[in-house]
Structure 1
Amino acid sequence: MGSLDQFLVYPLQQLPFFLITIVIAFTVHEFAHAYFANKFGDPTARLLGRMTLNPAVHFDLFGIILLLIAGFGWARPVPVNRDNFRRPRLMGVIVSAAGPISNLLLGILGALIYAILLGTGTMDSIKNEQVLRALIWFFGMFIHFNFFLFVFNLIPLPPLDGYRIVEDIAPRPIRGRLQQYEQWTVFIFLLIIFIPGLRAYTIEPLSYWATQTGNDFLRLFLKMFGV
C-alpha cells in the first residue's frame, strides 16, 4: 500500500500551507463576486450569507478534495442575478472580473510581503530551519496559486469567469449561440483539465506564466530594498 503522498498534488508536509493558500484565495475570490454584485444592486449573495470572508460558506468539499488529488477544484459559485443590475452587461462584466482580479491583487500582495521579509533581512534572521522552510513553502505556493487562479479563471470556457465576461460583452446573436452550445463547451473545459496531452498546451503554460509573473513582481519589489 502506497503512502498518502502519492495521491496528493503536494507532499504531505507541504499540505497545510497549500490548504491555507486555497482557503484565502477561494474565500477572497467568492467574496469579491458577492461584494460587487451587492454594490451594483443584486442582494442575492448577501441574503444567502455569501458576502462574507468566512471560508466555511464558500467551500465545496468535493471540489477541495479533487483539488488536492488532481490539481483542479472549485469553491461554491456565488449566485448572481444580473436582472437586478442597472446596467446588466457592464456590471456583469465587473462582477465576473472581480474574482480573478482579487487573486491578482493577492498574488501581488504576497510577493510584496515576501520581498519585505527578504529585503529587510527578516528571513536571514530566522534560525529555525523548519520555520524558514515553512515560510518559503507558503509564500511560494501563495504567490503562484493566486497568479494562476487569476489567469486560469479568465479562460473563456464555462463555468469560468472568463466565459461570463465574454457572454456579457458579446452581441445578442452571438450570446444566444454561446448559450446554445454552452453544455458542450463544458466538455472541452474538462478535456483540457484532465487529458495530459491537452494540459501540456493549456494549463501548463498558464502555470509557467504564473511562476514567471510571481518572480517578476518579487524581483521588482526587491529592487525597492536594493536587493
Structure 2
Amino acid sequence: MDFNLKLLLIQVPVILFSLTIHEFFHAWVAYMLGDDTAKRQRRLTLNPLVHLDFVGTVLMFLAGFGWAKPVPVNYLNFKNPRKGLLLVALAGPLSNLLTALFAGLTLRLLVPLVAGSSVIPGVVVVSLAIVILMLQYGIALAVFNMIPLPPLDGSRVLYGLLPSKQADSFSRLEPYGVMILFALFIFGGRLFSHIFWYPVSLLTVLFSGYDYFQLSSIIYHIAS
C-alpha cells in the first residue's frame, strides 16, 4: 500500500488493534487455563504499546502481515500442557479471523448502501476503508501466524496435534524457524504465494464476497 498521510491515519489504528487483539487473546486464554504469567508481566491488557514489536509492526505496513511481541506463557501451569499449548496458540489467529468475519459481514451490508449514491459522506468513506483494512489485516495476520514454522502460532498448533515422539522431533526446528521463515518469504516466491496469498484470497472472498485486490483498489482510491 502507498504511504500517504490519509492512508497512514487509517492504517495505524487498524494495525494497532489487529496486533493487540491477537496477543491479548493469547494472554487471556492462557490465564483462563491457569497460567498468570502474562498477567503478572502486564501483558493481559488491550494497551497496544506493551504488545508492539518494531520489526513486526513495520512489516505490517510494508507487506500487510507481521507480528507483535510474543506473550510469555508457562505451559507447566496448565493441567494438560499440550492441550493448553494448542488452545493458547489458536487463540490469537482465531481472534483475528473473528474480527475479519465481523468486518466482512459489515462490508456486505455497507457496500450496497453506498453503491448507488452519487455523493457519499466522508465519515462513510473512512468507515468503509477501516472495515476493509480490518478484514484484510485480520485475515493476513491469522493466515501468516498459522504457518507451521517456529516461532509462529502454527508451529505450536502442530506441536500440540502431533504424537509426542514426532512433536519432540519437530521442536528441534525451533532455533532455525526464523531463518527458514525469512528464506521462504524472500526466496520462496510461488511456494509462499500458495502458502499465504491463496488462503488469504479465499478467506477474503468467503467473508466479504469481494476479492482481496479488488478491495485494495478501493483503499487506493479512497486514499488518493
Q: Same fold (TM over 0.5)?
A: yes
Distance 1:113 1:173 in 2: 45
Contact 1:126 1:132 in 2 (8 A): no
Identical columns (%): 33
Q: Unaligned stretches of 5+ in structure 1?
A: 1-8, 221-227
Secondary structure in 2 matching 1:41: coil
Q: 1:153 deviation in Å?
A: 1.2
Deviations 1:10-55 (A, max 9, x none): 3323222222221111111101100000000000001111111111
Secondary structure in structure 2 of the residue aligned to 1:201: helix
- Asked if 1:81 corresponds to 2:74, the answer is yes
| Paired residue total | 209
Tell me, yes or no, if the aligned pair for 1:110 and 1:143 is still in contact at 8 Å.
yes
Amino acid aligned to 1:32: F
Q: Which residue of 1 aligns with 2:182?
A: 190
Query: Which residue number in structure 2 is paired with residue 90 of structure 1?
Result: 83
In structure 1, the partner of 2:14 is 21
Deviation at 1:111, TM superposition (A): 1.1
Q: CA offsets per residue over residues 82-139 of structure 1, 9 Å max, x none?
A: 00000111121011101011111000011122223234x2675693565454333322
Residues 33 and 210 (structure 1), Cα distance of their counterparts in 2 relative to 1, 3 Å cut:
same
State whether residues 25 and 95 of structure 2, in contact with CA within 8 Å, keep that contact through their aligned partners in structure 1: yes
**Does residue 1:141 correspond to 2:133, yes or no?**
yes
Work out whether 1:50 is the aligned partner of 2:50: no
Aligned partner letter, 1:38: Y
> Which aligned pairs between 1:97-108 and structure 2 lie closer than 5 A?
97-108=90-101
The residue number in structure 2 matching 1:156 is 148
Question: What does residue range 106-125 of structure 1 map to in structure 2 within 5 Å?
Answer: 106-119=99-112, 121=113
1:147-179 CA distance string (max 9 Å, x none): 122222111101100101112222222222222
The change in CA–CA distance for 1:139 and 1:124 in structure 2 (over 3 A counts) is farther
**Matched residue of 2:79: which SS?**
coil
**Aligned 8 A contact 2:15 2:60 in 1:** no
* Structure 1 residue 199 corresponds to structure 2 residue 192: no
Conservation of the 8 A alpha-carbon contact between 2:78 and 2:84: yes
Larger CA deviation: 87-96 vs 33-42 = 87-96
Cα distance in structure 2, aligned partners of 1:126 and 1:27: 37
CA distance in 2, matches of 1:16, 1:68: 12
Q: Secondary structure at the match of 1:175?
A: helix
Rounded Cα–Cα distance in structure 2 between residues aligned with 1:97 and 1:188: 22
TM-score by structure 1 length? Answer: 0.81
Q: Distance in 1 between matches of 2:73 and 2:155?
A: 15
Residue 73 of structure 1: SS of its match in structure 2?
A: coil
RMSD over equivalenced CA pairs, Å: 2.4
2:29 alignment counterpart: 36
The one-letter code sitting in structure 2 at the alignment partner of 1:103 is N
